[in-house]
């Protein structure tokens, strides 16, 4: 019972710091002792480790999405014109 309660409190403590831990925000730093405690908990708690993994996957997906470049409008117009020519030629 005590072990379960201790784990629940530690998970709660960790959950409140995971965002700051991952963001490494200088305005809301995680102290070295908190990092050590959180790392120790993540090594032992599969559920919290999964939360970290999901946060990192989401961060990666969002960062990739924001880096996508929009297609050049002139290139898109040329592509449409080429496709129109090909499909018009094939329809005859």
Which residue range is the domain that position 81 belongs to?
2-91
Helix %, strand %, coil % of the chain (to 5): 80, 0, 20
To the nearest whole number, what is the mean pLDDT of the chain?
A: 85
CB 34 within 8 A of CB 17: yes
In the prediction, which pLDDT does 92 show? 46
The pLDDT tens digits for 41-79 are 999 999 999 999 999 999 888 888 777 777 788 888 999
Region at 45 (left for phi over 0; alpha for psi -120 to 50; beta for the rest): beta
Residues 13 and 88: their CA atoms lie apart, in Å, by: 65
Q: What is the pTM of this model?
A: 0.59
CA atoms of 52 and 39, how far apart (whole Å)? 11
**How many domains is the chain built from?**
1
């Amino acid at each position: 019972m005590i072990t379960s309660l201790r784990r629940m409190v530690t998970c709660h403590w960790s959950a409140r710091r995971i965002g700051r831990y991952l963001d490494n925000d200088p305005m809301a730093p995680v102290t070295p002792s908190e990092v050590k405690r959180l790392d120790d908990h993540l090594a032992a708690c599969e559920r919290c480790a999964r939360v970290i993994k999901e946060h990192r996957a989401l961060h990666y997906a969002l960062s990739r999405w924001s880096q996508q470049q929009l297609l050049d409008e002139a290139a898109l117009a040329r592509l449409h014109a080429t496709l129109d020519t090909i499909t018009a030629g094939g329809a005859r």
